[in-house]
């Protein structure tokens, strides 16, 4: 029994050490990306694997553009659609989380997350799309790291450059070229709202932009875009 407890103690200590090392690895990347642009993300890697399962020669569409070369229309549309309190919260929308908890309790499983732009970015950079309480916990830790070290402008810049906008399409520039044959800098108000409406389920909306749900979402985003506060 004593020997068993000794082995269990060592196993727990090793697990804690691995968890701490992982957190340090994540934090080192967060610090590096304060002024260096991510070349890839966990979501991009998963997307490329998914594409190459069908076509071994497949490549992602992605081109980084600086914050000043992204249309103010898209910035406002994304904030209006995804995180209206982006400039005022510190990574978490308490009211949104409370609403998500109520939905989860009602369903008896994790179906809603109440995620802010900062939380979505943390997930995109490091994690999988799976829904679990452990993953949400890690997402919260990474969100705190990002909010503590990055400006809101940097958070939105990276977010707009790495999120998925369809099968193999990542970032505002690639999406603008894919859907509107223009640059991210030249997106109109209508185009920006339509792109923002795709974010919750981009691979589905890529081929269902005529659906009623999508059109309703576009209309709502247009209604609130003018009120959205974005970093300068």
Distance CA 32, CA 38 (A): 9
Say if pTM beats, i.e. exceeds, 0.95.
Answer: no
Using the predicted structure, report yes or no on whether residue 113 has a pLDDT greater than 70: no
pLDDT band at residue 225 using 50, 70 and 90 as cut-offs: very high
Using the predicted structure, report yes or no on whether residue 104 has a pLDDT greater than 70: no
pLDDT digits (tens, 9 = 90+) for 52-95: 999 998 999 999 999 999 999 999 999 999 999 999 999 998 77
* Fold (CATH) for 33-225: Penicillin binding protein transpeptidase fold (1.10.3810)
The pLDDT assigned to 114 comes to 66
pLDDT band at residue 132 using 50, 70 and 90 as cut-offs: confident
pLDDT digits (tens, 9 = 90+) for 195-210: 999 999 999 999 999 9
What's the number of CA atoms in the CB half-sphere (13 Å) around residue 125?
A: 28
Using the predicted structure, report yes or no on whether residue 153 has a pLDDT greater than 50: yes
Using the predicted structure, report yes or no on whether residue 111 has a pLDDT greater than 80: no
Going from N- to C-terminal start, the domains of the chain cover 1-32, 33-225
Tally Cβ neighbours within 10 Å of residue 1: 5
What is the three-class DSSP state of 227? coil
Distance CA 54, CA 34 (A): 35
Q: Which residues pair with 126 in a beta bridge?
A: none
Using the predicted structure, report yes or no on whether residue 101 has a pLDDT greater than 60: no
Q: Which residues contact 61 (CB under 8 A, 6 or more apart)?
A: 168, 169, 170, 174, 177, 178
- Residue 110's alpha-carbon distances to 104, 164, 177, 184, in angstroms, are 5, 22, 35, 34
CA angle 71-73-74, nearest 5°? 70
The pLDDT assigned to 12 comes to 76
């Amino acid at each position: 029994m004593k020997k068993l407890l000794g082995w269990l103690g060592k196993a727990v200590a090793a697990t804690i050490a691995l968890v701490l090392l992982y957190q340090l690895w994540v934090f080192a990347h967060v610090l590096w990306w304060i002024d260096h642009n991510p070349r890839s993300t966990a979501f991009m890697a998963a997307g490329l694997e998914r594409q190459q399962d069908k076509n071994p020669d497949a490549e992602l569409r992605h081109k980084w553009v600086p914050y000043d070369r992204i249309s103010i229309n898209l910035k406002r549309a994304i904030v209006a659609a995804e995180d209206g309190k982006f400039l005022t919260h510190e990574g978490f929308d308490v009211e949104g989380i409370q609403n998500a908890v109520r939905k989860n309790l009602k369903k008896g499983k994790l179906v809603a997350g109440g995620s802010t732009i900062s939380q979505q970015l943390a997930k995109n950079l490091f994690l999988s799309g799976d829904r679990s309480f452990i993953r949400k916990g890690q997402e919260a830790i990474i969100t705190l790291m990002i909010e503590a070290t990055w400006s809101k402008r940097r958070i939105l810049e990276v977010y707009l450059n790495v999120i998925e906008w369809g099968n193999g399409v990542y970032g505002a520039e690639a999406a603008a070229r894919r859907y509107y044959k223009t640059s991210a800098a030249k997106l109109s108000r209508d185009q920006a709202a339509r792109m923002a409406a795709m974010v919750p389920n981009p691979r589905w909306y890529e081929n269902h932009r005529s659906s009623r749900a999508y059109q309703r979402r576009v209309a709502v985003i247009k209604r609130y875009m003018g009120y959205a506060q974005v970093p300068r």
